[in-house]
Amino acid sequence: MRRQVPLILCFLFGIVMMLVEFSPHPISEGLRAEVIKWDLIIGPFALVIGVITLVHTHVIRVKRRVEHWQYSYLVFFGMIVMVAFGLPTGPKNEVFEWLFDNVQVPMEATMFSLLAFFIASASYRAFRARTLEATLLLVAALIVMIGNAPIGDVLWNELSPVGDNIPSTARQWILDNPNLSSRRGIILGVSLGVISQSIRIIFGIERSYLGGGD
Amino acid sequence: MEVLGIWVAAFFTLCIYSFLYRDNPFYRFAEHLFVGLSVGYGIVFSIHQGLIPFAWDPFWEAITKREFMGLLKLIPIFIGLLFFARVVPKYSWLIRYPIAILIGIGAGRAIPNVMDARIFRQVYGTLTPFGQIHAGALGFFEIFGAILMLVGVICTLTYFFFSIEHRGAVGGISKVGIIFLMVGFGSAFGNTVMGRVSLLIQRVDFLLSDWLRLI
């Protein structure tokens, strides 16, 4: 009951969803659409686990007065404010949109842009051309970066007598040929892994998602 | 409200950038608030774009218009509610039911979709140019590109093929695979750096033009 029923459910839903993808019959298409809706209904409830874990973590931080515990109240404040304005009237609420546009989006963009500095220092350490492989990585990265920036083509056209827009052309060639071929190799390998793992899950060989205990 | 929005956005932008100096109260303030707002945003969107249109609306319609098929939506709602069993230790095992269903649906859909989009189409894209070569429709550089693509895919796959020891011919092919991988990683790195730098330029542009009106 505790482990067998979930395994049977996983098997049934997995097999049905796999088979209906291949069948153009209206009943099968209707079934597929309905199960996808079930997925969209059940999915948001999974957020409950995340929210419970986050709240639990911060309640513990406050209770135990760990270092910087005061900031945990900001997590609760942010969450409550967004839910209070967004939940009753939906994401089109003026205050909800204002908070999203003027607080959340700028902070998110700034957090990601912060990585530019750390990537710069990391690349200094990583890009020492000690081996052939490291040199290739360095050269490919440099060509892509120079080709991406408009200044690359401008400088080349001003300074070099050979060809026009060579940096951006070289960048595009690298992206379309050696880069794409290695990505295809990786995609094919990963996809075969995904398929074999899915088969293992459907047939109950892989059952780590059930967790421990009875 | 617009001016206030610009000032608030500028304040939080500077709070995050203050981390470049070192960890400090301004950064922690912005960081924790960001986590809270993001979670709140996620909750609102999941409810308004998942639960309400796909569960609540059909269910309510079923009650008001007496279309009893809509009552079937009670089944996934009930299954979803089993996630709350996590908070009652005695019944926490019930959480396996919704997880098993979600994973089953995901695994079942993954097999045909991945096979189609990520295997057949990738192989098709790799081999199609050879048909065009046969028809004499490609020039020298396209033929060179097509051969390079095929060689790159085979060598990269060989590098990840661990059932045979990488010695002799297989070792040589896998070494060529490493070369392709390094160029691929290099270009991915270059693209990532440029993406982050673009974001940095956009934030600095916001501070200098929208906020300070210097440019």
The rounded mean pLDDT for chain A is 92
Contact of A110 with B183, CB cutoff 8 Å: no
With bands split at pLDDT 50, 70 and 90, how would you rate the model's confidence at B55? confident
Mutate to test the interface with A, among B4, B26, B44 (most CBs of A within 10 A): B44
The parent domain of residue B180 ranges over: 139-215
State the ipTM, two decimals.
0.87
Residues 6+ apart with CB under 8 A from B158: B170, B173, B174, B177
Q: What mean pLDDT is reported for chain B?
A: 93
Do the chains contact at A140 and B187, CB–CB below 8 Å? yes
Same domain, B40 and B73: no
Q: What is the pTM of this model?
A: 0.86
A78 touches B: beta carbon within 8 Å? yes
Candidate from A1-10, A62-71, B60-69 with smallest mean pLDDT: B60-69
From A161's Cα to the closest Cα of chain B, the distance in A is: 23
Give the dihedral sign, CA A133/A138/A141/A144. Answer: negative
Indicate if the pLDDT at residue A162 is higher than 90. Answer: no
Q: Which two tokens stand for residue B34?
A: 């960001």
% residues pLDDT > 90 (chain B): 80
Contacts of A134 in chain B (CB under 8 A): 182
- Same domain flag for B95 and B153: no
Closest CA to B101 of A192, A195, A45, A190: A45
Domain closes at, from B117, B137, B157:
B137
Structure confidence at residue A117 (pLDDT):
87
Which among A3, A7, A22, A42 is the top mutation candidate for probing chain B, defined by the most B β-carbons within 10 Å of its own β-carbon? Answer: A42
Q: How far apart (Å, rounded) are the C-alpha atoms in residues B16 and A11?
A: 47
Nearest residue on chain A to B201, alpha-carbon basis: A113
Distance linking the first and last C-alpha atoms of chain B = 22
- Please tell me the predicted confidence (pLDDT) of residue A5: 95
Task: Classify the phi-psi angles of A93: left when phi > 0, otherwise alpha if psi is within -120 to 50, otherwise beta.
Answer: beta
Distance CA B152, CA B16 (A): 42
List pLDDT tens digits, range B11-21: 999 999 999 99
Cβ separation of A71 and B32 shorter than 8 Å?
Answer: yes
The domain boundary, picked from B118, B137, B156, lies at B137
> Could you say which of B50, B84, B122 has the minimum Cβ distance to residue A41?
B50
Residue range B137-156, pLDDT digits in tens:
889 999 999 999 999 999 99
Nearest by CB: A78 against B35, B112, B145 = B35
A194 in B contact zone (CB under 8 Å): yes
Residue of higher predicted confidence among A58 and B73: A58
Residues B58, B120 within the same domain: no
Any chain B CB within 8 A of the CB of A129? no
**Could you read off the pLDDT of B112-140 as tens digits, one per residue?**
999 999 999 999 999 999 999 988 888 99
Amino acid B167: pLDDT: 93
The stretch A19-47 carries a mean pLDDT of 91
pLDDT per residue as tens digits for the range A35-81: 999 999 999 898 888 998 999 999 999 999 999 999 999 999 999 99
Question: Is residue A140 within 8 angstroms of chain B, CB to CB?
Answer: yes
Residue-level pLDDT at A205: 95
Place of tokens 């924790």: B32
Q: In angstroms, rounded to a whole number, what is the distance separating the alpha carbons of residues B137 and B179?
A: 30
Query: What is the per-residue pLDDT for A119?
Result: 85
Over pLDDT 70: what percentage of chain B? 100
Structural domain count, chain B: 3
Work out the pLDDT band at B37, boundaries 50, 70, 90.
very high
pLDDT at A160: 87
pLDDT band at B24 (very low <50, low <70, confident <90, very high): very high
